[in-house]
Amino acid sequence: MKILIKYYAKYRDSTGKKEEILEVDEMNVRELLGFLRNRYPKLSGDKTSLIALNNRFGKEEVQLSDGDTVSVFPPVSGG
Amino acid sequence: MVLEKYLSQIAVKEIFPEGQKRIESSSVVVIGMGGTGSSIAEILVRMGVQKITIVDNDTIEASNLNRQSLYMESDIGLKKVDVAKEQLVRMNESVAVNAIDQKLNFLNAEEILAGGDIIMDGTDNYSARNVINTTAFRLRKSWIFSAVEGTYGYVKAIIPGRTSCLSCFGYPDKGEAISCTVQGVIPSAVKAISSIAATTAIKVLIKNEQNGDLIYFDSWKPSLEVMPIPKNEKCKVCGVVSETQIS
Ligand SMILES: [Zn+2]
C-alpha cells in the first residue's frame, strides 16, 4: 500500500525530503516509525518522534491503510 | 480598570467587554523565565494581568540577550526573577509579581501551581514539563505547553478533563535542557511561539476555550499547522486508569 509521509522541522534535513510516497507492507503507525528510522538513521537521534495519522495525533497501534498521510515531527524541548 | 491603558485591545471584539475584566482578575504562573517565559510574561502583564508568579533559578547570561527582552547588558550575572519582577512592574504598575527563585520539581510544584488560574510553560526541558503536566492534572489546572528550537515550535492548551495532555501523544517525559546555544534557536521564532502561547492563554481565560489541538509554527518557512490530539485513554497521566488511581 502507498503512504504519504510528510517530514517537519529538522526532519527535513534528516531525510533530505519534505514528503514522499512510500510503498509499505501492512503495518501500524509505530512499525512505520521503525521502518523510517531504518531508512533514515538520523531520525533515531531523538528517542521518540511525534506522529500524526491523517493530521490527527493518536494511538500508535492503529493499522495504516492505503492512501493514509503520516506526518512526522520532532519532540521540541527548548524554550 | 485603567481603561486608557488597554483601549486598543478592548476595541477588539474577541476581548470586549468582559474579556478585559477577566484578564485583570486572572492569576498567572509562569514556569521558566527564559526566551518563551519572559516574552509570555511581558505580553500578559502589558495586557493587564495583575497577579503573576514567575519561577526560575537561573542568572542572566550574555547569550540570553538576543531573545530575552526583559534583560539588559547591565543585568548579566543577576537573577532572572529579580530583574524580571522589576521590569514587569515598570511596564504596568498595577501588577503584583511573586518572584520565586527556585527550579520547579515534584516537591515544590503543587504549592507553586496551586496559585494560578492558568500555568504558562516557559521551560526548556522534558523533565520540567512532565512535572507541570502531572501536577497540573492532579490540581485540575489548565496550562499552556510551548516549546521552540531552530525556527519552529509548538503550542497546546492542556485543560484537565477536557483536552488531551502532554503524555497523551508520546511527548517525552524525561530529559534535561540542551542549551539553546548548542541546540540553536532564532529570536523571532521564540517571539512567535510566545505570542501564540499568550493568545491561547487569553482564550482559555476569557472564552473558556476547550480546544487542545497542537499548533505547529515554523517562522522560517513560514508555515502553521493545527492538529487534533485526541485523549489517550491509556495515558499514564490523564488516562482512565490513572484517574481512578488518583481519586
Ligand atoms: Zn494524557
| B113-164 per-position pLDDT tens digit | 999 999 999 999 999 999 999 999 999 999 999 999 999 999 999 999 999 9
pTM of the predicted structure, to 2 decimals: 0.93
Confidence of residue B241 (pLDDT cuts 50, 70, 90): low
Q: What is the pLDDT of residue B130?
A: 97
Looking at the partner chain, which of B153, B172, B232 has a beta carbon nearest the beta carbon of A47?
A: B172
Q: B16-246 maps to which CATH number?
A: 3.40.50.720
Q: What is the pLDDT of residue A46?
A: 87
* pLDDT by 10s per residue, chain A, length 79: 999 999 998 999 999 999 999 999 999 999 999 999 999 999 998 888 999 999 888 878 899 999 999 999 999 999 9
In a domain, A79, yes or no: no
Could you count the other beta carbons within 10 Å of the beta carbon of residue A7?
Answer: 24
| B172-220 per-position pLDDT tens digit | 998 776 777 777 999 999 999 999 999 999 999 998 889 999 999 999 9
- B242 alpha carbon to ligand 1 midpoint, in Å? 9
| CATH number, position A58 | 3.10.20.30
What is the distance between the alpha carbons of residues A78 and B146, in angstroms, rounded to a whole number?
9
The interface predicted TM-score of the complex, written ipTM, equals: 0.87
Report the domain count for chain A. Answer: 1
Q: What is the pLDDT of residue B247?
A: 42
Size of interface A-B (CB pairs under 8 A): 87
| B65-89 per-position pLDDT tens digit | 999 999 999 999 999 999 999 999 9
In a domain, A49, yes or no: yes
Give the domain extent around A31. Answer: 2-73
What is the distance between the alpha carbons of residues B3 and B18, in angstroms, rounded to a whole number?
13
In a domain, A34, yes or no: yes
For residue A40, the SS3 value is coil
In a domain, A44, yes or no: yes
Q: Are B109 and B97 in contact (CB under 8 A)?
A: no
Subunit contact B185:A47, Cβ cutoff 8 A:
no
Looking at the partner chain, which of B122, B216, B229 has a beta carbon nearest the beta carbon of A79?
A: B122
Instruction: Give chain B positions within 8 Å (CB) of A73.
Output: 216
Q: What is the pLDDT of residue B1?
A: 52
